[in-house]
Amino acid sequence: DVKVTQSSRYLVKRTGEKVFLECVQDMDHENMFWYRQDPGLGLRLIYFSYDVKMKEKGDIPEGYSVSREKKERFSLILESASTNQTSMYLCASSFPQGTRRGYTFGSGTRLTVV
Amino acid sequence: SQQGEEDPQALSIQEGENATMNCSYKTSINNLQWYRQNSGRGLVHLILIRSNEREKHSGRLRVTLDTSKKSSSLLITASRAADTASYFCATGVQGAQKLVFGQGTRLTINP
């Protein structure tokens, strides 16, 4: 069963901490994505990557960075967590024509920053 | 930026009834996709319809696409309690590597 695995389902961090959210896929997908989901705002794209070491800003990249050192792993980094980054974070992956074939999502990480 | 907008935002029906959700978008697309999200989980891909298709079926799901009106609908027939979830449309634009998601319709099936 192919899948996208996010390292934590729930995470609580303190303001100012550096936070790493990890995502691993086993489908040999080239594209990987990080979204955040908030009530009333839907899914908003933070960053995406279409190849190893490549990254593109999404709609809301401020306060975040990403790392893709290996094809199967895409990490989202909150350099200094703030309370307004409390959210559900969703990772997804796809083939290069993922817009034509659909995304596979992980189960999500619910991050609370206190 | 949000392209797809679902309507209604929330829908509550009795088990066994049909559920219809609509999605409107703004620009030309390659395809339109529907996803389901159970509470607190990730999204699951349901069905994809290409811009040159008008209707597509998958089990109890029926999707229509009207490119002249820039709209799509998702029909779930003979609904079940397990269909309770949020449903999102997403549009694929030619040349783009990413989908654009709407804000979703929250569907509740009452037993």
Question: Could you read off the pLDDT of B9-68 as tens digits, one per residue?
Answer: 999 999 999 999 999 999 888 899 999 999 989 999 999 999 999 999 999 999 999 999
What residues of chain B, 49 to 88, have a C-beta less than 8 Å from chain A?
Answer: 88
CA distances, B91 to each of A8, A59, A80 (Å):
29, 16, 33
DSSP assignment letter at A101: H
Closest CB to B2: pick one of A42, A101, A102: A42
Query: Where do the DSSP E strands lie in chain A?
Result: 4-6, 10-13, 19-25, 31-38, 42-49, 56-57, 64-70, 73-78, 87-94, 104-105, 109-113
Say yes or no to pLDDT of B1 above 50: no
A39: contact with B, CB 8 A cutoff: no
What residues of chain A, 64 to 93, have a C-beta less than 8 Å from chain B?
Answer: 88, 90, 92
